Amino acid sequence: MTKNEPIYPIRTAAKLLNISVHTLRMYEKEHLIIPFKKSTSHRLYSQSDIDRIKCIRSAINEDKISINGIKTIYSMMPCWEVMNCSKKDRSNCSAYLLHSGPCWAVKGDDTICASKDCRKCSVYQDYGECGSIKKFIRNKLTEKE
């Protein structure tokens, strides 16, 4: 089983994180997490989701970053580099042009990501842990040196 396998029902995830179900739902509504949605509309969470939420909790409680602040940090992730978007793709994409939220929250219906399942995307799966966005940017800059 991989870390991205959705296995925990919402009550179990909330218990593991020592938070309320309401808080988990709020994080989803704010686009900080993308839980797996079963056909019954019940949510399932993976170990990666749990790790991501621990980082979110730490940013809120220890670093005093607001939810809007976390969304802005996520918006700084250069998803266009990961997805290898062309200049034309970028010119039409809110994820490239704006900084109001993560790419999966602002992507437009007419972009190359429109029909993609963001939960399965490397941008969501690989850069949810604390420090991973900065590490990605640092590696990119080192490549250019």
- The site for ligand SF4 (CB under 6 A) is made up of 79, 83, 95, 103-104, 107, 113, 116, 118, 121, 123-124
77: which 2 tokens? Answer: 């992730």
Q: How far is the CB of 22 from ligand SF4 (least distance, A)?
A: 25
CA dihedral 123, 60, 58, 119 (to 10 degrees): -20
Q: How far is the CB of 15 from ligand SF4 (least distance, A)?
A: 28
Q: How far is the CB of 89 from ligand SF4 (least distance, A)?
A: 10
Residues whose CB falls within 8 Å of the CB of residue 45, separated by 6 or more in sequence, listed in order: 6, 7, 8, 9, 10, 12, 13, 24, 33, 35, 36
By C-beta, is 5 or 117 nearer to ligand SF4?
Answer: 117
By C-beta, is 34 or 59 nearer to ligand SF4?
Answer: 34
Quick check: 8 and 18 in contact, CB under 8 A?
no
